[in-house]
């Protein structure tokens, strides 16, 4: 008998690089730099993807979509999230709600939180009131040139 509910946790970080678009939660934000590295660098979607995969004890995002594989260069991270959601459904579960915290010095997330919440909710197939988007500045952490995202998800068994 499968558990009725499962939780998952994900964490990610990316370094800011000048001259590339900044995407957070599937929303492009106006800023002088974006997040480099794997795919489009969407740190929030990566953390949510890993939380979903973790909840079903699946492989992590780096195993499914290796940064060394050129096909994922500049990829839309919504593709990774979609694969995680497909695996959650295949395992017999559905997403109940998710919560997240971003840690970055700039830009301010508050003015964009509702847009990000709606976009993430749309990608995940849940209501916006089931998506928590919180942001903090990295006080005393020395990570001013990085964006960090933490995410937790709750799944329930379908049917
Ligand atoms: Zn990432």
DSSP state letter for 143: -
Q: What is the pLDDT of residue 159?
A: 81
Q: How far is the CA of 127 from the centre of ligand 1 (A)?
A: 24
Number of Cβ atoms within 10 Å of the Cβ of 2: 10
Q: How far is the CA of 8 from the centre of ligand 1 (A)?
A: 17
Q: How far is the CA of 1 from the centre of ligand 1 (A)?
A: 34
DSSP letter for each residue of 81-111:
HHHHHHHHHHTTEEEEEEEEEEE-SSS-SGG
Residue 116: pLDDT band (50, 70, 90) is very high
Please, what's the b/e burial string for 88-120 (b: 16 or more CB within 10 A of its CB; e: otherwise)? Answer: beebebebebbbbbbbbbebebeebbeebbbbb
Q: How far is the CA of 13 from the centre of ligand 1 (A)?
A: 6
- For the cut 90, the answer to whether the pLDDT of residue 157 exceeds it is yes
Percent of all residues in the chain with a pLDDT value above 90, rounded to a whole number: 94
- For the cut 90, the answer to whether the pLDDT of residue 75 exceeds it is yes
* 15-70: pLDDT as tens digits: 999 999 999 999 999 999 999 987 999 999 999 999 999 999 999 999 999 989 99
Q: How far is the CA of 11 from the centre of ligand 1 (A)?
A: 9
Q: What is the mean pLDDT of the chain?
A: 96
Are 137 and 105 in contact, with CB atoms under 8 Å apart?
yes
């Amino acid at each position: 008998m499968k558990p009725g509910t499962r939780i998952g946790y994900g964490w990610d970080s990316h370094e800011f690089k000048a001259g590339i678009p900044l995407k957070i939660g599937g929303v492009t934000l106006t800023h002088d730099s974006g997040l480099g590295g794997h795919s489009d660098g969407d740190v929030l979607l990566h953390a949510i993807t890993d939380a979903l995969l973790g909840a079903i004890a699946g492989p992590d995002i780096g195993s499914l979509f290796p940064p060394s594989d050129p096909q994922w260069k500049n990829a839309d991270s919504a593709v990774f999230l979609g694969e995680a959601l497909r695996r959650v459904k295949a395992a017999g579960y559905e997403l109940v709600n998710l919560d997240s915290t971003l840690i970055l010095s700039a830009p301010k997330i508050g003015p964009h939180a509702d847009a990000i919440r709606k976009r993430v909710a749309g990608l995940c197939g849940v209501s916006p009131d089931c998506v928590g988007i919180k942001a903090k500045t990295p006080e005393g952490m020395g990570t001013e040139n990085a964006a960090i995202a933490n995410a937790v998800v709750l799944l329930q068994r379908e049917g």
